[in-house]
A and B are shown apart, each in its own frame.
Chain A
Amino acid sequence: MGLAETQRALARLYTDARLRERFFADPFKTGEEFGLGRDEAEQLARLSAPQVNFFAGTLHAKRLQEVRDLLPLTVRALGERAAPLFRAYAETNLPGGIKKHRADAAAFADYLAAGDALGGADSGWLADLARYEKTWLDAADMPRGVIARRFRFPVNAIARDVLRGNTQPAANPQNTLALWFRLSPGHRIRHSVLSLPF
């Protein structure tokens, strides 16, 4: 089996937990799915499943570590839920390219903010916090212009609370408008937040 074929098969095994499980349960049948001959499947089946699973786990951990650097307050506020939520998201999302960690952070924030991933009484402000941090990433990439976002919760106050170590801020809904603007590539981002009285 040539190195190119081996690497293509490995890349799929490392990044797809369900495929990995099926492959080690039946290497020949699953190997056929990605074009491996019997000898090739047999060679790959000699890999240690625990070792491959361990390596796949380190890939998730590495991704979460990068996302934590980009969405620090969101990941801090999630606490113990961060790792399992990220794992669930990461199984079906695998960005690539030079800015893959940035794309991962943005997609994870979208995953938290959309659907039912979060659940619980704090899901509203957590989703807003994720969107807020994601917008800071968008603003950092903007050479010039304005970004406006509306939030259901006072995100700037929540962000300050989480930054100070309070991962369960008392967050009552309050319509909030946030603006990010940059005049030109040489200028810093300016940011303004207004929580409305209704």
Chain B
Amino acid sequence: MFSQLPTLGVGLGFREPFRGELFLRRGEVDFLEIIAEHYMDASAEKARELELLAAHFTLIPHAINLSLGSAEGLDPVYLDKLARLVNGLNPPWWSEHVSFTRAGGIDIGHLSPLPFTDEAVEVLRRNVCEARERIHAPLILENITYALAVPGASPMREADFLAEVSERADCGLLLDVMNLHANALNHGYPVEDFLARLPAERIVQLHFVGGHWHDGVLIDSHSRPTPDEVWSLVEKVAALAPVKGMVLERDENLPPFPELLAELERARRIGREYGRWA
């Protein structure tokens, strides 16, 4: 199923500050990833912005608060609004995270880790099925960074957990290689072993970007140029997985736009070298 998805190439996570330059140089950006929540209950300006972006780019909606890992189930109002947005855009796929952001009436405000357990796999499977009944495009799930290991019965390794989730929920994977790099360093495991355990045929898209160190912990702050170690991971994944797209996910400390384009060009060359696109 994932082999039949269209090849998109290299894209940018859309950020409003570079909107003007993006349109001036739109031939150098193959597609955009948009934060879905920015266009739900949208103001008139944001709705116009979405229309303009959709007229010129393939858009991949990237949701951040559906909370697919919530054992309490999905928020039906939120799901309804997200479904209207995604179905309206009719994208080749959409993405969310292997995490939870809500529980007990509290909106945590960020992606929180799950225990790597069978129960969590089943929760994700159930919630993904419910989302799939409303949202028609294929779903790919992103791995997150985690500062702590959540306790649970008989936990698996993270890679095995992601493999189980993707296979039992029948989803693709959005492999964030910066998150993988950070987790591998912060929690001390070899990335080669992690990559070997993932179902490569399900890796549809990558995220890449740089982070920063704080108190001995590598943070996925999306605030720095992509470092060499992450480029090396991009190459490793491009070699083994039939990825359809790679997205530069720079949020903070935005550099001059040509520097972002230079990173896209490097990703484009990697994809070409490994036969992912022409």
**Which chain A residues have a beta carbon within 8 Å of chain B's beta carbons?**
2-4, 6-8, 10-12, 14-15, 43-44, 46-48, 51-52, 54-55, 58-59, 62-63, 65, 94-100, 140-141, 143, 185-186
Chain B neighbourhood of A141, CB < 8 A: 43
In whole angstroms, how far apart are the Cα atoms of A55 and B148 in the complex?
8
In whole angstroms, how far apart are the Cα atoms of A72 and B160 in the complex?
42
**Which chain B residues have a beta carbon within 8 Å of chain A's beta carbons?**
37, 40-41, 43-45, 65, 70-72, 78, 81, 100, 102-104, 106-110, 112, 114-115, 117, 119-120, 123, 147-148, 150-152, 215, 217, 219, 252
Q: How distant is A101 from chain B, measured CB to nearest CB, in Å?
A: 9
Whether B37 contacts A7 by the Cβ 8 Å rule is: no
Task: Choose among A6, A15, A52, A99 the residue that contacts B152 (Cβ–Cβ < 8 A).
Answer: A6
Chain B neighbourhood of A14, CB < 8 A: 108, 112
Whether A3 contacts B217 by the Cβ 8 Å rule is: no
Chain B neighbourhood of A4, CB < 8 A: 71-72, 103
In whole angstroms, how far apart are the Cα atoms of A64 and B81 in the complex?
26
Whether A6 contacts B112 by the Cβ 8 Å rule is: no
In whole angstroms, how far apart are the Cα atoms of A48 and B151 in the complex?
10
Task: Choose among B43, B120, B148 the residue that contacts A47 (Cβ–Cβ < 8 A).
Answer: B148
Whether A10 contacts B103 by the Cβ 8 Å rule is: yes
A-B pairs with the 10 shortest C-beta distances? A96-B107, A8-B104, A51-B148, A7-B103, A4-B71, A11-B103, A3-B71, A11-B106, A55-B147, A185-B44
Q: How distant is A39 from chain B, measured CB to nearest CB, in Å?
A: 11
Given contact pairs A4-B71, A11-B103, A143 touches B44 in the complex (Cβ within 8 A) = yes
In whole angstroms, how far apart are the Cα atoms of A14 and B100 in the complex?
12
Q: List 29 A-B contacts (CB under 8 A).
A: A3-B115, A3-B152, A6-B71, A6-B151, A7-B104, A8-B103, A10-B112, A10-B150, A11-B102, A11-B103, A11-B104, A11-B108, A11-B112, A12-B104, A12-B106, A14-B112, A47-B151, A51-B147, A54-B217, A58-B110, A59-B108, A59-B110, A62-B109, A65-B252, A94-B106, A94-B107, A98-B78, A100-B109, A186-B44
Whether B150 contacts A6 by the Cβ 8 Å rule is: yes
Whether A96 contacts B110 by the Cβ 8 Å rule is: no
Chain A neighbourhood of B215, CB < 8 A: 54
In whole angstroms, how far apart are the Cα atoms of A4 and B127 in the complex?
13
In whole angstroms, how far apart are the Cα atoms of A77 and B245 in the complex?
40
Chain B neighbourhood of A143, CB < 8 A: 44
In whole angstroms, how far apart are the Cα atoms of A97 and B101 in the complex?
11
Q: How distant is A43 from chain B, measured CB to nearest CB, in Å?
A: 5
User: 11 additional contacts, CB 8 Å, given A11-B104, A14-B112, A59-B109?
Assistant: A3-B114, A3-B123, A7-B72, A11-B102, A11-B103, A54-B148, A59-B108, A62-B109, A97-B107, A98-B65, A140-B43
Q: How distant is A106 from chain B, measured CB to nearest CB, in Å?
A: 14
Chain B neighbourhood of A43, CB < 8 A: 151
Task: Choose among B43, B45, B100, B252 the residue that contacts A7 (Cβ–Cβ < 8 A).
Answer: B100
In whole angstroms, how far apart are the Cα atoms of A59 and B219 in the complex?
12
Task: Choose among B40, B106, B114, B252 the residue that contacts A15 (Cβ–Cβ < 8 A).
Answer: B106
Q: Which single residue of chain A is at the shortest CB-CB distance from B119?
A: A3
Whether B106 contacts A96 by the Cβ 8 Å rule is: yes
Q: Which of B40, B114, B147 has the most CB of A within 10 A?
A: B147
Chain A neighbourhood of B151, CB < 8 A: 6, 43-44, 46-47
Given contact pairs A7-B70, A11-B104, A98-B65, A52 touches B148 in the complex (Cβ within 8 A) = yes
Whether A98 contacts B40 by the Cβ 8 Å rule is: yes
Q: How distant is B178 from chain A, measured CB to nearest CB, in Å?
A: 15
Whether A58 contacts B219 by the Cβ 8 Å rule is: yes
Task: Choose among B44, B71, B109 the residue that contacts A2 (Cβ–Cβ < 8 A).
Answer: B71
Q: How distant is B165 from chain A, measured CB to nearest CB, in Å?
A: 14
Q: How distant is B156 from chain A, measured CB to nearest CB, in Å?
A: 14
Q: Which single residue of chain A is at the shortest CB-CB distance from B252?
A: A65
Chain B neighbourhood of A12, CB < 8 A: 104, 106
Chain A neighbourhood of B106, CB < 8 A: 11-12, 15, 94, 96
Chain A neighbourhood of B119, CB < 8 A: 2-3
Q: How distant is A69 from chain B, measured CB to nearest CB, in Å?
A: 9
In whole angstroms, how far apart are the Cα atoms of A94 and B105 in the complex?
11
